[in-house]
Amino acid sequence: MMHFLPVDNNDLQLRGWDRPDIVLITGDAYVDHPSYGAAVIGRVLEAAGFRVGIIPQPDWRKTDDFRRLGKPRFFFGITGGNLDSMVANYTSAKRPRKKDDYSPGGAAGLRPDRATIVYANRVREAYGDVPIVIGGIEASLRRFAHYDWWDNTVRRSILVDSRADILVYGMGERQIVEIARRIKDGRELDGIRGTTVLRKLSAISDQLSAISDLNNVERRTLNVEHDSPLSAVVEIPPYEEVKDDKDKFNEAFKAISLNQDPFSNKTIIQGHGTHCIIQFPPPLPMKPSELDHIYELSYQRAWHPSYDKDGGVPGFETVRFSIISHRGCCGDCSFCSLSMHQGRIVQSRSKRSIIKEAKAIAGSKDFRGTITDIGGPTANLYGARCTRWEGKGACNERSCLVPEPCKKLKPGYRESIELYREVLRLPGVKHVFIESGLRYDLLAQDSGTEYLRHICVYNISGRMKVAPEHCVDHVLRIMNKPLFGIYEKFVKRFEEAQRKTGKRLFLVNYFISAHPGATLTDALELSRYLKKRGIHPEQVQDFTPLPLTLSGTIYHTEKDPYTGRRIYVAKTFRERKMHRALIQYGNPKNRQLIREAMQSLRQGDSLK
């Protein structure tokens, strides 16, 4: 137990601690692995010299579990877990999930809805004015007033409802150490990159007086001291306006999305009654050495032994022998939360560090010879670089990959192939597979030919995951995905590469049903394409509007926030079900829904 972070008073006594400096609370089971955010934050704080304890999945109905490790010297750090708790607890049809892969034995119901808010308020109940820091994907995507699909309403910033002292958005390693040091030294928490705070409007009124119209989303620069956290500010419409006015909501989203670059963007302020949310600019990209340090910390790469009796934690099995090689994604898909969380700039570890981790995995007693994945948000962006990323940031005026990959973007194919080869040569390693998704538009280019051939020969276990998402171009444009002709070009290249390997490989195609912009006619067109190709898709995701995503914003407002153009949105559950039924046309359970869809389209009762 001494090798895990302490989870109870017995663990504290074994270490000779009276109490921890910091207590982390998470909605997930405690798995000490770099794929689990609470474990990463705990190890980073530990490496910075702090005593850290962790309380996984406390019983939120009372305060007993929250008192398990006592009152920390500095603060409680709270996360809902690796997933937004509403996504973890409910299906896309808003039904309670029967299983939670991040819980012991896959048990459902061990985390509350809106876990970050519930946990923070229980801590307040238990300890009063103890500092509270919230973070993770749930807090990150809810840092401003946001549309919440589960409530079908615009909710306040999670900072307001949680009564936390500061919110960390993004991955958070730099921020959490800076916060810990400032609290230890008794310093203010304002001005930390990658954080959001709640302040009284009256406390910053002198600085805000330079803005004549607080509801104007045009950029305004305040004439204050350069080192002030409010030295350059963008004011967006307040909660009281965006909750009822969809055009104001779109204005706010547009301003937020255009101010996420760590090099050039400004502090953002949004009013919430007598207070305001202040988001400081994102942190600068990490150097490979910084990422190496994070992933080389003393993770046990195991679930806590207390879960053995439950059969462990199901979600861990998929990452047990995997390696995270990079973070960030320049794809910027409209429905994806990554651009607002990890950012668009790809940050990669060094080859040396990844090989070091692979050696450690290969030396573990339960390793059977297969590294299941070396990847990140997009597997074939390891080592990717752009001349702008190092000092200017990602472009606001265009996407890196759509409508076609920018010529300045250089995928790290040579580095990737060398990495895969070296890991495969390690003693005990028999296979190195890629399970992370791949950007097929990059592989459709001539520059991707060698990489595609190599992974087809050595790194695909039999199935390659790609995400065309749809086949109708106007829907793909709204998704910020490549036009469908590029996918078809990729399929030809894949089939050619497969023939040369002599192996039998398959594409696993991911599709989204009922995405904003898609009509029943579009779903029918996709259904006909799939039937023509003999594809019976199992990987279909019913669209779920996530907070702080472009697609979620369009779902709520039924407009493009950048152009004001109206966009059709399928909102009734019945229509959403018909979209999915058409796409999964081969499932006998869908026949009645297909008939209903066809009747609605007045095109008969069969797919022709």
State the pLDDT confidence band at 208, using cuts at 50, 70 and 90: low
**DSSP 8-state code for residue 233:** E
Identify whether residues 3 and 80 lie together within a single domain: yes
State the pLDDT confidence band at 398, using cuts at 50, 70 and 90: confident
State which residues form the domain around 566: 505-608
Residue 23: CB partners within 8 Å, gap ≥ 6?
A: 52, 53, 54, 55, 69, 72, 76, 77
Identify whether residues 6 and 93 lie together within a single domain: yes
Report residue 456 as tokens: 């087809």
User: Is residue 523 in some structural domain?
Assistant: yes
Identify whether residues 169 and 211 lie together within a single domain: no
Which domain-ending residue is among 193, 220, 246? 193
Q: What is the pLDDT of residues 24-74, one digit of tens each?
A: 999 999 999 999 999 999 999 999 999 999 999 999 999 999 999 999 999
pLDDT at 209: 55
- DSSP secondary structure letters along 112-174: -TTHHHHHHHHHHHHHTT--EEEESHHHHHTSSSEEETTTTEEEPPHHHHHT-SEEE-SS-HH
If you average pLDDT over every residue of the chain, what do you get?
93
Identify whether residues 185 and 208 lie together within a single domain: no
At residue 390, does pLDDT exceed 80? yes
Q: What is the pLDDT of residues 416-459, one digit of tens each?
A: 999 999 999 999 999 999 999 999 999 999 999 999 999 999 99
Q: What is the pLDDT of residues 331-365, one digit of tens each?
A: 999 999 988 899 999 999 999 999 999 999 999 99
Please tell me the distance from the alpha carbon of residue 90 to that of residue 98, in angstroms, as a whole number: 9
CB 190, CB 197: distance < 8 Å: yes
At residue 545, does pLDDT exceed 80? yes
Please tell me the distance from the alpha carbon of residue 41 to that of residue 38, in angstroms, as a whole number: 5
Percentage of residues in the chain having pLDDT higher than 70: 94
pLDDT at 606: 43
Q: How many domains does the chain have?
A: 3
Identify whether residues 120 and 171 lie together within a single domain: yes
CA distances to 7, 8, 58, 63, 581 from 66, rounded to whole Å, are 11, 10, 7, 5, 45
Residue range 254-271: mean pLDDT, rounded:
91
Identify whether residues 108 and 247 lie together within a single domain: no
Identify whether residues 28 and 124 lie together within a single domain: yes
User: Is residue 9 in some structural domain?
Assistant: yes
pLDDT at 539: 80
User: Is residue 389 in some structural domain?
Assistant: no
At residue 221, does pLDDT exceed 50? no
State the pLDDT confidence band at 546, using cuts at 50, 70 and 90: very high
**Polymer length in residues for the chain:** 608
Please tell me the distance from the alpha carbon of residue 99 to that of residue 311, in angstroms, as a whole number: 14
Number of H helices, E strands in the chain: 23, 22
pLDDT at 207: 58
User: Is residue 391 in some structural domain?
Assistant: no
β-bridge pairing 132-135 and 166-168:
parallel
Identify whether residues 558 and 584 lie together within a single domain: yes
Identify whether residues 55 and 178 lie together within a single domain: yes
pLDDT at 608: 41
State the pLDDT confidence band at 391, using cuts at 50, 70 and 90: confident
User: Is residue 376 in some structural domain?
Assistant: no
User: Is residue 255 in some structural domain?
Assistant: yes
User: Is residue 176 in some structural domain?
Assistant: yes
Q: What is the pLDDT of residues 80-116, one digit of tens each?
A: 999 999 999 999 999 999 999 999 999 999 999 999 9
Which domain-ending residue is among 282, 313, 336? 282
487-495 contacts: CB < 8 A, separation 24 or more? Answer: 487/440, 487/441, 487/444, 489/444, 490/440, 490/441, 490/443, 490/444, 490/466, 493/443, 493/444, 493/448, 493/449, 493/452, 494/443, 494/452, 494/456, 494/464
Please tell me the least confidently modeled range out of 12-16, 209-213, 337-341, 484-488: 209-213
Identify whether residues 19 and 97 lie together within a single domain: yes
Q: Sort 4 into a burial class: Cβ within 10 Å, 0-12 / 13-18 / 19+.
A: buried
Percentage of residues in the chain having pLDDT higher than 90: 87
Q: What is the pLDDT of residues 317-327, one digit of tens each?
A: 999 999 999 99
* Angle, alpha carbons 443-525-494 (nearest 5°): 20
Other beta carbons less than 10 A from residue 206's beta carbon = 10
Q: 591-601 vs 573-583: helix axis angle to the nearest 10?
A: 110
pLDDT at 171: 95
Q: What is the pLDDT of residues 110-155, one digit of tens each?
A: 999 999 999 999 999 999 999 999 999 999 999 999 999 999 999 9
User: Is residue 245 in some structural domain?
Assistant: yes
Identify whether residues 176 and 278 lie together within a single domain: no
Which domain-ending residue is among 161, 193, 225? 193
Distance of CA 77 to the CA centre of its chain: 19
Please tell me the distance from the alpha carbon of residue 133 to that of residue 266, in angstroms, as a whole number: 22
Report residue 589 as tokens: 């359970």
Q: Sort 592 into a burial class: Cβ within 10 Å, 0-12 / 13-18 / 19+.
A: exposed
Q: What is the pLDDT of residues 552-600, one digit of tens each?
A: 999 999 999 999 999 999 999 999 999 999 999 999 999 999 999 999 9
Coil vs helix vs strand at 206: helix
For residue 50, report the phi and psi dihedrals to the nearest 5 degrees: -100, 150
Identify whether residues 212 and 71 lie together within a single domain: no
CATH of the domain at 187: 3.40.50.280
Q: Sort 181 into a burial class: Cβ within 10 Å, 0-12 / 13-18 / 19+.
A: middle
Please tell me the distance from the alpha carbon of residue 381 to that of residue 423, in angstroms, as a whole number: 18
